[in-house]
């Protein structure tokens, strides 16, 4: 976890012992992201996962997201959310097994393609309402439009945990030139982005989706803290922007899959200016991750992200099927 805020196995065992009457067995670390850590364990015949993080609202979002579960979009059952005596947020959920989506090898891309398309279509299929807040799981959050949300991502917000990245960007001539060019492009394209309120996961990679070993089904979709209500093409752009890092996803070509899906093609207006919208979202994803990598101090990832962002900006909108 960030700032070395890690847990020892004895601490996790003690925490779980207070919450389960049965014996805790097979306790093992499952890794985690920048913000959290996860541990798998068993009580009797029940396999569960406990996650620890900084903000209980992240796990409340996961619990709320259970209502989105449907074929192709399995959302793990959250059994308990709370705060430990030492003020760590935690969530206990039913354990699912599989491999992380981004770990799917290119040899399985033929199987992965319909699986990933099915996930994007399932997200698109979640009913939307015109008045749904973009920041749907954040009580008291600003009532932004989708376009305002996109533009807000270009600003170094003092209220954000990652505040301060703009100073470093401005001090690096190459990054400053790139970020200025990308920002201008995004602002020129944002009016083409419709005020849709599709369910957007917002972070489908980075250990947040499990697929079966043979890649023919999605086993679990979790970590909904980045989720918003907006344009379904944002999740497709997420996959395509990061595709060079993951050969299996690149070969599966999820963007073409979702663009040609009958359910999407039958949605009036869903594909209007699709190439421009998708391009805008790719640029937005790359731009915001410049700030993220500056804040985390990861120079290698910063340079790789900047290189990819420059490619996408130079390339322009993709030619989409149909």
Q: What CATH number is given to the structural domain containing 218?
A: 3.90.1200.10
Given this model, what pLDDT does residue 161 score?
79
pTM for this predicted structure:
0.94
Among the three residues 79, 94, 109, which one is the final residue of a domain in this structure?
94
Q: Any bridge partners for residue 82, and if so which?
A: 90
155 and 18 fall within a common domain: no
Given this model, what pLDDT does residue 141 score?
83
Look at residue 194 and tell me if it is in a domain.
Answer: yes
Range of the domain at 147: 99-315
73 and 172 fall within a common domain: no
Given this model, what pLDDT does residue 135 score?
96
Mean pLDDT of the chain: 94
197 and 131 fall within a common domain: yes
Among the three residues 60, 79, 94, which one is the final residue of a domain in this structure?
94
Tell me the per-residue pLDDT of 147-195, one tens digit each, with 9 for 90 and over.
999 999 999 999 887 899 999 999 999 999 999 999 999 999 999 999 9
Given this model, what pLDDT does residue 130 score?
81
Mean pLDDT of 193-209: 96
pLDDT class of 32 with cuts at 50, 70, 90: low
Lowest mean pLDDT among 33-37, 131-135, 197-201, 267-271: 33-37
State yes or no: pLDDT of 33 exceeds 70: no
State yes or no: pLDDT of 3 exceeds 80: no
Mean pLDDT of 290-305: 94
Lowest mean pLDDT among 35-49, 128-142, 177-191, 195-209: 128-142
Here the tokens at position 242 are 């990061």
From the CB of residue 19, how many other CB atoms can be counted at a distance below 10 Å? 15
| CA–CA gap between residue 90 and residue 109 (Å, rounded) | 35
Please work out, in degrees rounded to the nearest 5, the angle formed at the alpha carbon of residue 205 by the alpha carbons of 284 and 233. Answer: 45
Q: What CATH number is given to the structural domain containing 24?
A: 3.30.200.20
Secondary structure (H, E, C), the chain = CHHHCCCCHHHHHHHHHCCCCCCEEEEEEEECCCCCEEEEEEECCEEEEEEEECCHHHHHHHHHHHHHCECCECCCCEEEEEECCCCCEEEEEECCCCEEHHHCCHHHHHHHHHHHHHHHHHHHHCCCCCCCCCCCCCCCCCCCCHHHHHHHCCCCCCCCCCCCHHHHHHHCHHHHHHHHHHHHHHHHHHHHCCCCCEEECCCCCCCCEEECCCCCCEEEECCCCCCEEECCHHHHHHHHHCHHHCHHHHHHCHHHHHHCCHHHHCCCCCCCCHHHHHHHHHHHHHHHHHHHHHHHCCHHHHHHHHHHHHHHHHHCCCCCCC
Mean pLDDT of 228-254: 97
Tell me the per-residue pLDDT of 72-126, one tens digit each, with 9 for 90 and over.
999 999 999 999 988 899 999 999 999 999 999 999 999 999 999 999 999 999 9
Overall domain count for the chain: 2
Given this model, what pLDDT does residue 76 score?
97
Look at residue 322 and tell me if it is in a domain.
Answer: no
152 and 11 fall within a common domain: no
Given this model, what pLDDT does residue 4 score?
39
Among 110, 112, 66, smallest CA distance to 213 is for 112
Among the three residues 77, 94, 111, which one is the final residue of a domain in this structure?
94
Is residue 203 within 8 Å of 223, Cβ to Cβ? yes
Look at residue 321 and tell me if it is in a domain.
Answer: no
Mean pLDDT of 216-232: 97
State yes or no: pLDDT of 5 exceeds 80: no
Given this model, what pLDDT does residue 131 score?
82
């Amino acid at each position: 976890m960030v700032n070395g805020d890690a847990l020892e196995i004895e601490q996790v065992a003690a925490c779980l012992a207070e919450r389960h009457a049965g014996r805790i067995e097979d306790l093992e670390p499952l890794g985690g992201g920048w913000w959290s850590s996860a541990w798998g364990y068993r009580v009797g015949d029940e396999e569960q996962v406990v996650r620890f993080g900084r903000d209980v609202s992240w796990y409340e979002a996961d619990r709320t997201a259970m209502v989105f579960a449907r074929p192709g979009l399995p959302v793990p059952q959250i059994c308990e959310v709370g705060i430990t005596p030492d003020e760590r947020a935690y969530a206990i959920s039913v354990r699912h097994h599989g491999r992380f989506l981004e770990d799917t090898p290119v040899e399985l891309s033929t199987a992965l393609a319909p699986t990933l398309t099915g996930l994007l279509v399932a997200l698109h299929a979640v009913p939307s309402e015109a008045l749904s807040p973009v920041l749907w799981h954040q009580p008291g959050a600003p009532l932004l439009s989708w376009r305002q949300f996109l533009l807000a991502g270009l600003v170094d917000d003092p209220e954000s945990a990652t505040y301060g990245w703009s100073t470093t960007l401005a001090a690096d001539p190459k990054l400053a030139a790139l970020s200025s060019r990308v920002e201008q492009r995004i602002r020129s394209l944002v009016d083409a982005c419709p005020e849709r309120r599709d369910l957007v996961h917002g972070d489908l990679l980075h250990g947040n989706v499990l697929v079966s070993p043979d890649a023919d089904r999605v086993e679990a979709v979790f970590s909904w803290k980045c989720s918003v209500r907006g344009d379904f093409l944002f999740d497709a752009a997420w996959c395509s922007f990061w595709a060079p890092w993951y050969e299996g996803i690149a070969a599966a070509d999820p963007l073409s899959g979702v663009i040609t899906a009958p359910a999407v093609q039958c949605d009036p207006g869903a594909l209007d200016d699709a190439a421009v919208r998708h391009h805008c979202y790719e640029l937005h994803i790359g731009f915001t991750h410049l700030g993220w990598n500056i804040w985390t101090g990861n120079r290698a990832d910063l340079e790789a992200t900047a290189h990819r962002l420059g490619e996408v900006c130079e390339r322009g909108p993709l030619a989409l099927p149909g």
